[in-house]
Amino acid sequence: MRRIIGLTGGIATGKSTVAQWLADCSIPVIDADVLAREAVQPGSQIWERIAARYGPEILAESGQLNRRHLGQIVFAQPEERRWLEAQIHPYASDRLQQFLEAQPDGSTAVAVVPLLFEAGMTALVTEIWTVFCTPAQQLQRLQARNPLSREEAEARIASQWPLVEKVMRSQVAIDNSGSLEKTYLQVMEALHGAESL
């Protein structure tokens, strides 16, 4: 029996920090955001469909997607976001499944999936950890990380399930509204506490 931790939360709540700590414990980690970027590499079928739908202005000079421009489209138009997710989610789900099935019995692995609930991928994992912080912190951290207006940042947060809903459906809730030390202690307790039962 594998222990597969589904690590989720809201945008800019601290998932990557928690994932890095788990990776530092020599636990294999796969990140759905990395898979999503793989899915849209220039020349891929998904890249071709996106370019055909939105035209050449969606591409940077390098041929890569202009992620900021694409974000402005899909976060302002829910139907376009749903179309884009329908292109990417099957690829990410297949890659996640391949990775997790390759882990040996008795091992622990982590799947970082921001849209674990929204994309219906909860069946891929054996337990769900949600990283959360206060709404004000989430907005501030997102704007500090990305060059987004307040309106753009709020649209991205609103595109995901409310954090309280994710927390209610999780086995573990990681409160990242305080110091990193406090967050780290919660992560280690969740990791090792279950192992020692």
Q: Is the dihedral of CA 166, 191, 24, 39 positive or negative?
A: negative
To 10 degrees, what angle do helices 67-74 and 150-158 make? 70
Contacts of 44 (CB under 8 A, 6+ apart): none
pLDDT tens, per residue, the chain with 197 residues:
899 999 999 999 999 999 999 999 999 999 999 999 999 999 999 999 999 999 999 999 899 999 989 998 999 899 999 999 999 999 999 999 999 999 999 999 999 999 999 999 999 999 999 999 999 999 999 999 988 899 999 999 999 999 999 999 999 999 999 999 999 999 999 999 744 33
Cβ neighbours around 77 below 10 Å, total: 12
CATH number for the domain running over 3-195:
3.40.50.300
* pTM for the structure as a whole: 0.90
| DSSP states of 106-130 | T-EEEEE-TTTTTTT-GGG-SEEEE
- Span 102-134, pLDDT tens digits: 999 999 999 999 999 999 999 999 999 999 999
Cβ neighbours around 95 below 10 Å, total: 17
Cα–Cα dist 17/52, whole Å = 36
